[in-house]
Chains A and B, each alone.
Chain A
Amino acid sequence: MDAINSLLDGFAVALTLQNLGLAVIGCFLGTIIGALPGLGPANGVAILIPLAFTLGLPATPALILLTSVYYGAMYGGRISSILLNIPGDEPALMTTLDGYPMARKGQAGEALALSGIASFVGAFIATIGLVFLAPLLVKVALLFGPAEYFALYTLAFATLGGVASRNQAKAAIAAAIGLGIAMIGVDHQTGVPRFTFNDVYLYDGIHFLVAIVGLFAISEVFLFLEHRGEGEAGAGRLTLGRVTAPLRMIRQTIGAMLRSTVLGFIAGVLPGAGASLGSFISYTFEKRLSDKDNTFGKGDPRGVAAPEAGNNAAAGGALVPMLALGVPGSGTTAVLLAMLLTLNVTPGPLLFQSNPDVVWGLIAALFLANVMLLLINIPMVSLFVRVLLVPPRFLMPTVAMISFVGIYGISGSSFDLIVMIAFGVLGYLLRKLDVPLVPIILGVLLGNEMEKNLRRALTISDGDWSILWSSPLAIGLWTFAIVGFLAPLIVGRYLRPKIADEELGEGADPD
Chain B
Amino acid sequence: MSDRVFGVVCILLAAFFIWQATEIETGFIVDPLGPSAFPIIVGVVLGVGGIYPIVRPDPAPDWPAPARLLEIVFAVAVMIAYAMVLPRIGFVVATAVAAGLLGWRLGSGPVAAAVGGVAIAVGIYVVFHLILGLSLARGPWGF
Contact = CB atoms under 8 A, between A and B. Distances in A.
Interface of A: 51, 54-55, 167, 169-170, 172-173, 175-177, 179-180, 183, 187, 189-192, 194-195, 218, 221-222, 224-226, 228-229, 391-394, 396-398, 400-402, 404-405, 408-409, 412, 414, 417-418, 421, 424-425, 428, 432-435, 450-451, 454-455, 458-459, 462-463, 506
B27 interface: yes
19 contacts: A51-B128, A169-B52, A176-B14, A176-B42, A192-B25, A195-B17, A225-B71, A226-B64, A226-B72, A229-B107, A393-B107, A394-B120, A396-B102, A397-B117, A401-B124, A404-B83, A421-B79, A421-B80, A433-B3
B68 A190 contact: no
Contact of B29 (A177, A191, A229, A404): A191
B49 A433 contact: no
Task: Give the interface centre of B17, B103, B133 by most chain A CB atoms within 10 Å.
Answer: B103
A189 B17 CA distance: 20
A445 B18 CA distance: 21
A183 B79 contact: no
A458 B21 contact: no
A454 B39 CA distance: 12
Given A228-B107, A396-B106, A459 B31 contact: yes
Interface string B4-26: 00100010001001001100111
B39 A180 contact: yes
B26 A428 contact: no
A454 B35 CA distance: 11
B49 A176 contact: yes
Nearest to A461: B32
B80 to A, nearest CB: 6
Contact of A55 (B50, B75, B134, B137): B134
B99 A421 contact: no
A401 B45 CA distance: 36
A51 B136 CA distance: 11
A226 B64 CA distance: 6
A414 B86 contact: yes
Contacts of B49: 169-170, 172-173, 176
B95 A401 contact: yes
B110 interface: no
A190 B27 contact: yes
Contacts of A221: 75, 102
A432 B61 contact: yes
A397 B116 contact: yes
Nearest to B24: A194
A194 B21 contact: yes
A172 B38 CA distance: 15
B117 to A, nearest CB: 7
B79 A400 contact: yes
A432 B63 CA distance: 8
A458 B42 CA distance: 17
Contacts of A432: 2, 61, 63
B134 A54 contact: yes
A151 to B, nearest CB: 14
A192 B83 contact: no
A64 B26 CA distance: 43
B130 interface: no
A393 B106 contact: yes
Given A169-B53, A222-B75, A404 B38 contact: no
Contacts of B42: 176, 179-180, 183
Nearest to A179: B42
Interface string B86-108: 11000100010011101101111
B72 A458 contact: no
A405 B128 contact: yes
Given A55-B134, A394-B116, A434-B58, A189 B35 contact: yes
Contacts of B128: 51, 405
Contacts of B46: 173, 176-177, 180
B86 A433 contact: no
Given A190-B30, A225-B71, 9 more contacts: A180-B43, A190-B35, A191-B27, A195-B39, A228-B106, A394-B108, A397-B120, A398-B120, A455-B32
A55 B34 contact: no
B118 to A, nearest CB: 12
B108 A393 contact: yes
Contacts of A463: 32-33
A408 B132 contact: no
B34 A190 contact: yes
Contacts of B45: 172-173, 175-176, 179
